[in-house]
Amino acid sequence: MNRVEINPEYVYITIPAEYVCVYHRILAMMADYGEELLKDCKATCTSRNSNIIECFNMFNSAVAARKLGKDKLAETLIKYIKAKINQIYKGKDNSTSFVFPVDENGDIKAFVSCGERPSFWIDERDMNLYEHKFNNGFDEHFKLGIEDDYELPKKTDNLNLKITMQPRYERRGDRTVPCLDYRVYLYDYDSDKIIKELNPNDLVVYYYFDDSPVKEFSEVETVNAGFHKFTIVVKAKDYIGIEIKFLEYENN
């Protein structure tokens, strides 16, 4: 058998899907405190740094327990790890938006939204990953989807997207969910004129409720009384538009 040397960019470990958010929080924690860990643990680790190392080791134990069918032990270990991370970050969620490979070869990647059970988002029509970057309170986000093949004028300083949106709350069964109607236009800001309304099927839209990414607003489980922030980020070829609205929920 002839062997050919390859140079992969990444080599992936296999972890249960429901553990992916915990794993990402551990990675983020190691990145936050990695240099401190290196310096500190050459001597005697502080309590916090010792806990960070413990979290990583216990996560591997949880994966092994799950693999061996010891589900109760695995569940206990994961709960302990979550508690330790929350203690280190004083209850703040240290995870960020991220992408994970979801097939054994690492060829198919999905945007992961964390919660009690992680959600993996892919576009069934296309498996190509692309990203967009913007500087209005966010840095970088990823999602899967198709590249646009429709025609739009080349982006200039005066041409950009104009978004109109109307947030609201609806009662669905035994819970209230946030909802949103929106329209997107190609707009000439110099002449203050709408050039055309864009087809929703030609857009890639990202939704955020109180700055947390959601697949759609209706998946928000709990809406507390008070003002809430509705954000959508719209991508159309080289154009990116952001619109933010606040709406009070009175819970009556």
Identify which of 37-46, 108-117, 187-196, 199-208 has the greatest average pLDDT.
187-196
Q: 88: how many CB neighbours lie within 10 A of its CB?
A: 20
Which residue type is seen at 219? E
pLDDT at 27: 85
Domain ranges of the chain: 17-95, 104-146, 148-249
Q: For the residues 9-37, what does the mean pLDDT come to?
A: 79
Residue 146 has pLDDT above 60, yes or no: no
In the 3-class helix/strand/coil scheme, how is 33-54 assigned residue by residue?
Answer: HHHHHHHHCCCCCCHHHHHHHH
pLDDT at 150: 58
SS3 144: strand
Which pTM value belongs to this model? 0.47
- 55 against 126, higher pLDDT: 55
- 129 against 113, higher pLDDT: 113
Residue 1 has pLDDT above 60, yes or no: no
pLDDT confidence of 8, banded at 50, 70, 90?
A: low
Bridge partners, 99 (sequence order): 111
DSSP state of 174: T
pLDDT at 37: 67
Is the domain spanning 148-249 CATH 3.40.50? The answer is no
Residue 247 has pLDDT above 90, yes or no: yes
pLDDT at 47: 72
